[in-house]
Amino acid sequence: MTTRRSFLKTTSAASAALFISPSFFKFSHSYIGLQLYTVRDAMQTDPAGTLAKVAQIGFNSVEGATYTGSQKFYGMDAKAFADVLKQNNLIIPSAHYRLGVDKTNGEDTKGTMLHEWDKAVDDAAAAGIKHMVCAWLSPAERGNIDNYKLLAERCNKAAETCKKAGIQFCYHNHDFEFAEQDGQIPYNVLLKNTDKDLVKMELDLYWVAKAKHDAVELFNEHPGRFPLWHVKDMDNTPKQAFTEVGNGTIDFKKIFAAAKKAGLKYFFVEQDVCPGSPFDSITKSYNYVKKNLI
């Protein structure tokens, strides 16, 4: 039986819940990462100093972007790079790589999925990288649906090599994978034709929104398949340009609420183009993420 006292107790608790800080509902996560492509120019001229600035802003993890071709990490071998990261209390749970169909100066591009992948995997392990990500397909690497089926086979094969080193292979999307071909969506072809345990996905939240698809729907359809995210925003203009996280139209709170369903482990702030200093932009993004999402 509901007494006056129990009724008041219940309604008081319910009322109090309405005034709980929004932070109570935020996604609990200890790492805020940065995709280093955002500060690529600074990383080319002063990688150590740039990593120190990134850490000073508050980021505690980074994702690499330049191993392909040089077989070095920003001019450093794996150990030297790992040492610089450690000095700045940064981890590198993930790094980007290329497929390797394109040639460099007329020769095979080393350190790619198709050329000297074994060495790339060994170097990744030495640097402490836990996820190796196929970052982008050039126009020559895309092709038709059959080409995406071939890509799926190549991803499975690359992932087998990663697995032996204790590394998870992933695939990072743009918007072109969502352009329908012959009644099929290439991204769905990749999901269907890759081993769900060997090949995970790094979902770029900007590009999936640009392609007019719903990230949460993907999580629901393929739970646990998306351990990595790129967190970048889209401005409210006809150009739908890149902007600082929280400054645009993407509903990150809705997406982060589905983090468990996605299987999220790490996310990385990224802004391909910044209006001024990228350090100003990533500071704004960091502050928004810290205050509103975790």
For 77, 97, 193, 195, the CA distances from 189, given in Å and listed in that order, are: 36, 21, 6, 12
Q: Which CATH number applies to 28-292?
A: 3.20.20.150
pLDDT at 26 (0 to 100): 63
pLDDT band, very low/low/confident/very high, at 168 (cuts 50, 70, 90)? very high
Find the mean pLDDT for residues 222-238. Answer: 98
Cα 125 to Cα 93: distance, rounded to the nearest angstrom: 10
E-strand ranges in the chain read: 33-35, 61-64, 91-97, 103-104, 107-108, 131-134, 168-172, 199-204, 228-231, 233-234, 242-243, 266-269
- Kindly tell me if the per-residue pLDDT of 190 is higher than 50: yes
- Kindly tell me if the per-residue pLDDT of 10 is higher than 90: no
Single pTM value for the model:
0.91
Nearest CA to 48 out of 91, 83, 92, 79 is that of 83
Can you name the residues that pair with 229 across neighbouring β-strands? 203, 267
Find the mean pLDDT for residues 247-276. Answer: 98
pLDDT band, very low/low/confident/very high, at 30 (cuts 50, 70, 90)? confident
- Kindly tell me if the per-residue pLDDT of 131 is higher than 80: yes
The model's pLDDT over 70-92, given as tens digits with 9 standing for 90+, comes to 899 999 999 999 999 999 999 99
Q: Where is average pLDDT lowest: 11-25, 185-199, 218-232?
A: 11-25
pLDDT at 227 (0 to 100): 98
pLDDT band, very low/low/confident/very high, at 6 (cuts 50, 70, 90)? very low
Find the mean pLDDT for residues 168-174. Answer: 98
Please name the residue that has the structure tokens 């190796």. 132
- Kindly tell me if the per-residue pLDDT of 8 is higher than 90: no
Cα 235 to Cα 245: distance, rounded to the nearest angstrom: 10
pLDDT at 28 (0 to 100): 62
Q: Report percent pLDDT > 70 for the chain.
A: 90
Find the mean pLDDT for residues 56-79. Answer: 94
pLDDT at 68 (0 to 100): 79
Q: In whole numbers, what is the pLDDT of the chain averaged over residues?
A: 92
